[in-house]
Structure 1
Amino acid sequence: MEEDRAGTDIGLAAEIEEQQRGEQLELEEASEQADEAPSNGEPKREESAAAPDTATETTTEPTGMLDTEAAANTPAIAQNNSSQAPTASAEKPALRQPKKRFVGRRAAAEAAAAATPRSSDAVSVEDAGAVGAAPRPRARRPARLLNQVPAELLDDPALQAAVALLPVNYSFEVPKTIHRIRTLGARRVGLQMPEGLLLFATTVADILEQFCPGTETLIMGDVTYGACCVDDFTARALGCDLLVHYAHSCLVPVDVTQIRTLYVFVDIRIDASHLVAALERSLVAATTTLALVGTIQFNATIHGLRPVLERAGFGVLVPQIAPLSKGEILGCTSPQLADAAPDRQLAILYLGDGRFHLESIMIHNPGVPAYRYDPYARKLTREAYGHAEMQDLRRAAIRTARGARSWGLILGTLGRQGNPHTVAAIEARLRQRGLPVVTLLLSEIMPHKLARMSADVECWVQVACPRLSIDWGYAFARPLLTPYEALVALGLRDDDWARAPDGAVGGVYPMDFYGRDGLGRTRAGEIV
């Protein structure tokens, strides 16, 4: 498992998501470029669905529409595959260089001229993508886009009738999924969904099998809590050619997963006019700045809300903690907000049902009031969190752990939750102190399981989900620490909240597990 995860870079997640939102614009731009390309006397060839992929990389902003059409008909990001790479010859014009970010017209033209191949040279799509931009510290694959979903598939009345069986405001991106299956020639496809979408799983599976003859679908029924639970290892073990993961962002990039993976965000469209009206009645727009956050399903709505709320007089910001998308938060990862202008009150506005994700940003910003809009119940509520109680419980667990003479390390095996490099780094710190360590692999961490082994273990550190310790740590017989709390107990981290007296909110408890420098991103050999 450790070799499988070596070199993992989840920094591509935000880029992949932004590219997927802007794919339609990219395709239109590519079409315009093709119209302007010289023909050298040859008749212009029409693009077909079988044309080779073109490497492109660009960043676009959301359209700003509240009820934008879901991305069901947009092409998906493909993995590098140079087997279809075209070659250049003296009779054919040189390959057109794709656009790169942060490269001006003059620089791009000079780079294209310098990179023009000789007639005897063979040029692959990957080579053509190497426009002379400034080198990056780490080499990354150029992003690639699958061909546009064919019009005959989008306009197929039988497919439209089948998709109509699914909720109209939920975008399962069925045409794109069918096109991906056909393009890859996948014969066994794994479907992974969170609990709330499993009631649609059999319908989606039937549609895919009906329009992809010879393809078998497998519904993966193991619990899926979040983006960290993408289970490409199990899908590979089951012989799947493709894994379709629904309702979460690509925290684990498609060039890292062990099999081809398609992320379907399941964009949910809502009528946001009720939310705007509720905010105008509940808050003073002229003195309020709203930090808009939510899960990935409502990300398009969040960006569309911004101009509407600004026109209503609210100050608006869409915060980001890299590598997540702007406005996206996870249950363990959220941004720490900067102070608002002196004449404005900063407030969090969370769009979504439930409190799990909202509590993450509340923990990370204890002094900022938070509001939640439930699009299903159509309710705007003021939310509160027991910061002092939570910090008291975590301080008590850390104090007990400091006296522990034997430690247990738990590597979560539910999807991609556990990071073996984090386990190795903490184990190295414990062994430096001469402390005995036992290591467990668990898919789900339960109090009764650990209780059976607690006679020989005085403190547990779980490298799975930080919220398990924060929310349920009190239910375990022995201290159950997060990796961050383990470092505090060992004296390697020293934060104000950990030194505060009981009953006080002593500072900010960090919620950055999958942030760029978070402990969920520890690399091989890294010292924590």
Structure 2
Amino acid sequence: MSAEPRKRFVGRKTQDGSASSTEVTRKPVRRALNQIPLDILQDEALNEAIKLLPKNYNFEIAKTVWKIRTAQSKRVALQMPEGLLVYACVVADILEQFCNVDVIVMGDVTYGACCVDDFTAMSLGCDMLIHYAHSCLVPIDVTKIKVLYIFVTISIDEQHLVNTLKKYLTGQRLALVSTIQFNYTLHSILEPLRMQNIQAVASQQMPLSKGEVLGCTSPRLDDTAVDAIVYIGDGRFHLESCMIYNPDIKAYKYDPYDKSFTIEEYGHDEMRAVRKESINKAKYSKTVGFILGSLGRQGNPKTLELLQSKFIERGFAVVSVVLSEIFPQKLAEFTGIDCWVQIGCPRLSIDWGYAFSKPLLTPYEAMVMIGQDEWLPNNAYPMDYYATKGYGRGQLPRA
């Protein structure tokens, strides 16, 4: 393949927010800070060092110092998404100076909460992993070493957001969603919106936080009770998850960085047609390759075992492959495989599946293929991968 394939599904921006406002500085969360000893909170040298980081990004340095000291850690790994790696060396220097620990910055790509890489951190001799900018998708009681999740809550201009929604969506019933960085803002504006005659709720897909969405996991909304989805954040990846699961509800995006407010659209019919075509082609397969994602904790061995047993029962030959990242060129090197089922990121198949020479199915699509799951009505496509009973947790969502 000579050229990198273009992403198939994109949206359009059709509306800009222009409400005026002033910058809002968020107050610290007292419940968490009250647990931290005063000698850390009032350490002048530490507080001076913290000023090297952006003031509207909460890296929770004092909490981190306290946790490292309490655990008596000797070597700590830092794992950040690419957008935060620019601050990694500053954070590492602070922790080395004030905790007397070795710090390793993990440079491998980190797409989301599923990429928590405690295995690699442990192999590097670390006794603690600090994972930034994602929620606790992988519980700390199942990781191989201590894991501290830092959400990196970002302070934004909340009044501008409220004014924007008042200007365009007064009288409507809204479902507010965001990534974990803006989840505090989402909840803090609920009451101000109600005072402006805007009904707003923070919908939930358990076990995620209320209002939180991931690229593969979003709440299923009642289109008779919700007029519009409003996503707070930049980019479209996480918003698309909610749109895919709720095709009949209009979606908006408020970007807190450039303060734009846009209507977002998605090619639902085209996406479903492409995915149905892949499933129909895969039905004629004799040998099915199962890919267990090894990027952090993306791949669930229980899911692999569940799917393979179903396919073996139906007479398919199965082959297991472990990959950290999945590319068309890599899979093309395998001969004798008629189709693939990847247990990693469902969005890889949805967004990029057409670029592969053989069908590349998600666990959901694989189960539809063998009659163990079904297409949802009303053009919806399930985004419940890491829900409590999702395929990502080795469960059968609609069993």
State the shift of 1:201 in Å: 0.2
Q: In the alignment, what sits opposite 2:36?
A: 149
SS state at 2:229 partner: strand
Give the equivalent residue in structure 2 for 1:406: 287
* Aligned position for 1:481: 361
Q: Any stretches of 5+ residues in structure 2 without a counterpart?
A: 1-23
User: Which residue of 340, 365, 380 maps to 1:460?
Assistant: 340
1:163 aligns with 2:50: yes
Q: 2:385 aligns with which of 513, 523, 526?
A: 513
Partner of 2:91: 204
Show the 5 A alignment for 1:118-517: 148-213=35-100, 215-283=101-169, 285-286=170-171, 288-341=172-225, 346-453=227-334, 455-496=335-376, 507-517=379-389
Quote the offset at 1:71 in angstroms: 4.7
TM-score with structure 2 setting the length: 0.91
- Classify the secondary structure of the residue corresponding to 2:153: coil
- The Cα of 1:494 is off from its aligned counterpart by 2.1
Deviations along 1:310-334, whole A, 9 cap, x unmatched?
Answer: 0011011110000000000000000
Separation in 1, partners of 2:105, 2:29: 23
The 1:359–1:72 alpha-carbon spacing in structure 2 relative to 1, beyond 3 Å, is farther
**Offset of residue 516 of structure 1:** 1.1
Deviations 1:338-375 (A, max 9, x none): 1345xxx6100000000000000000000000000000
In 2, the alpha carbon distance for the partners of 1:489 and 1:231 equals 32
Shift of residue 435, structure 1, vs aligned partner: 1.3
* Structure 1 residue 154, shift from structure 2 partner: 0.7
| Alpha-carbon distance in structure 2 between the residues aligned to 1:72 and 1:210 | 26
The 10-residue stretch of structure 1 (514-523 or 390-399) with the greater mean CA deviation from structure 2: 514-523
Structure 1 residue 277: deviation in Å? 1.7
Distance 1:374 1:246 in 2: 21
CA contact (8 A) 1:400 1:479 kept: yes
Q: In the alignment, is the contact (CA less than 8 A) between 2:268 and 2:379 conserved in 1?
A: no
Give the whole-Å Cα distance in 1 for the aligned partners of 2:30 and 2:274: 45
Q: Is the 8 A contact 1:72 1:175 kept in 2?
A: no
| TM-score, L = length of structure 1 | 0.69
For 2:9, the equivalent position in structure 1 comes to none
Contact 2:269 2:379 in 1 (8 A): no
Report percent identity of matched pairs. 54
- Assess if the C-alpha contact under 8 Å between 1:407 and 1:437 holds in 2: yes
Structure 2 counterpart of 1:68: 26
Rounded to whole Å, the distance in 2 between the matches of 1:248 and 1:381 is 25
The answer on whether the counterparts of 1:295 and 1:357 sit within 8 Å (CA) in structure 2 is yes
Summarize deviations over 1:16-35 as a string: whole Å, max 9, x none: xxxxxxxxxxxxxxxxxxxx
- Is the contact between residue 178 and residue 211 of structure 2 (CA under 8 Å) also seen in structure 1? yes
Does the Cα contact within 8 Å between 2:386 and 2:393 map onto a contact in 1? yes
Q: Find runs of 4+ consecutive structure 1 residues off by over 6 angstroms.
A: 525-528
CA–CA separation in structure 2 for the residues paired with 1:310 and 1:488: 42
Check conservation: 2:389, 2:397, Cα contact below 8 A.
no
What residue identity is the alignment partner of 2:380? V
Gapped runs of 5+ residues in structure 1?
1-65, 76-146, 498-505
Per the TM alignment, residue 70 of structure 1 is displaced from its structure 2 partner at its CA by 4.2
Q: Deviations over 1:72-101 (max 9, x none)?
A: 9826xxxxxxxxxxxxxxxxxxxxxxxxxx
- Structure 2 counterpart SS, 1:349: strand
Answer whether contact 1:171 1:267 (CA < 8 A) is retained: yes
Q: State the alpha-carbon separation in 2 of the partners of residues 410 and 448 from structure 1.
A: 15
8 Å Cα contact 1:425/1:527 also seen in 2? no
Distance 1:496 1:413 in 2: 29
Counterpart code for 1:178: V
In structure 2, the CA distance between the partners of 1:367 and 1:67, relative to structure 1 (3 Å rule), is: farther
Please give the root-mean-square deviation of Cα atoms over the aligned residues, in Å: 1.8
3-state SS of paired residue (2:320) = strand
Measure the CA separation in 2 of the matches of 1:310 and 1:490: 47
Query: In 1, are the aligned partners of 2:391 and 2:397 still within 8 Å (CA)?
Result: no
Is contact 2:385-2:392 (8 Å) kept? yes
Is the contact made by 1:426 and 1:483 (CA closer than 8 Å) also made in structure 2? yes
Tell me how far 1:69 sits from its aligned partner. 2.7
Q: Distance in 2 between matches of 1:509 and 1:361?
A: 10
Q: CA deviation at 1:519?
A: 0.4
SS at structure 2 position matched to 1:74: helix
Distance 1:244 1:336 in 2: 31
Q: Structure 1's 338 and 496: CA in aligned 2 closer, same or farther, altered over 3 A?
A: closer
Give 3-state SS (helix, strand or coil) of 1:473's partner: helix
CA distance in 1, matches of 2:55, 2:31: 14
| Distance in 1, Cα, partners of 2:397 & 2:284 | 26
Structure 2: how far apart are the matches of 1:470 and 1:359?
11
- Count of residues in correspondence between the two structures: 376
